Amino acid sequence: MATLTLQQLRYVKFNSSLIRKILSCFYQEGKVYRIPFGPLRGSKMYYDRSVNYHAILGLWDVEEYQFLGRLLRKGGFLKPGSITADVGANLGFFSMWMSKQFESMEHTVIAFEPAPETLKKLKTNLQENVCPQIRVVEQACSNKIGHMDFYIGNHHHISSILKSWADSGVDGSSQRVTVPTTTLDLYFQEHVGAFPDFVKMDIEGGGVFALKGCEEIFTKKRPLVWIESHLPEEDQAISDVLTRHSYSAFRFSDKKIVAEKGKTHPHPEGVWGTLLLFPNEITHRIKPLLSD
């Protein structure tokens, strides 16, 4: 077993079969439980065996939430009436966190999630927590309007528009379904009437398509974007955004500004990992907020 670092221990960034076995004695499939720790402490979450212990205990991506909370509050990037796009809402952890953080601002979260079974859990979680600020959109974000194949992996965190990614689970197979698609540009123009101030995108390689549907958002609104890249092709799609739209990036994975916007993994100074994208013109506001 690899030695755990202090950072991994502090933010519970490790898996444990022992913890999973202990939790199985207390958590029952199909029931809703209060989250005991972390940024969503006191909120409720539906439980089944696909929900990992980090999520049900409230320890999911704690370090990332601490960073984003500090950045958004201190930087004043979200104003009353602001809008967040949660692209790849999954079980709703991020959407609920955003609505809780900025509830007093009448902040709206538009949560995009296409996977049928995951949608059911997402809606249950939002109903249990009474989250009127969150609007669920049962569509995948892509570069076109219509329908496309979507692949359900053996765990909800690997379901994707990309079959190769959804097949990367334990048993190496996925289930194909057809889901409706939209572009972020069109959805916000037609159904919201305003573009988002903040975009979170974590769609298991699907950013290859979804980022191409954000041209007007990047040009006209210039939002902050929190994105997790999973594949070389997704790295390249993000790199294209940086170069074409005059954006910069902070690589959260190693706490560095991306020095080589035109390079991707494995270049150490290139585009890869979990990234904060921001317009070049606000670099002076962003940089002082990036350090712990």
| 226-278 residue pLDDT tens | 999 999 999 999 999 999 999 999 999 999 999 999 999 999 999 999 999 99
What single-letter amino acid sits at 89? A
pLDDT in tens, 131-156: 999 999 999 999 999 999 999 887 66
d(CA 265, CA 292) in angstroms, rounded, equals: 25
Q: Is the pTM of this model over 0.85?
A: yes
Examine the domain organization and report whether 161 and 53 are in the same domain: no
Examine the domain organization and report whether 87 and 99 are in the same domain: yes
Examine the domain organization and report whether 79 and 112 are in the same domain: yes
Task: For residue 25, give the H/E element and its range.
Answer: none
Determine how many CB atoms are found less than 10 A away from the CB of residue 176. Answer: 10
The count of domains in the chain is 2
d(CA 11, CA 60) in angstroms, rounded, equals: 9
Confirm whether 178 is domain-assigned.
yes
d(CA 183, CA 72) in angstroms, rounded, equals: 25
d(CA 58, CA 207) in angstroms, rounded, equals: 26
Determine how many CB atoms are found less than 10 A away from the CB of residue 154. Answer: 17
Residue range of the domain that includes 132: 61-289
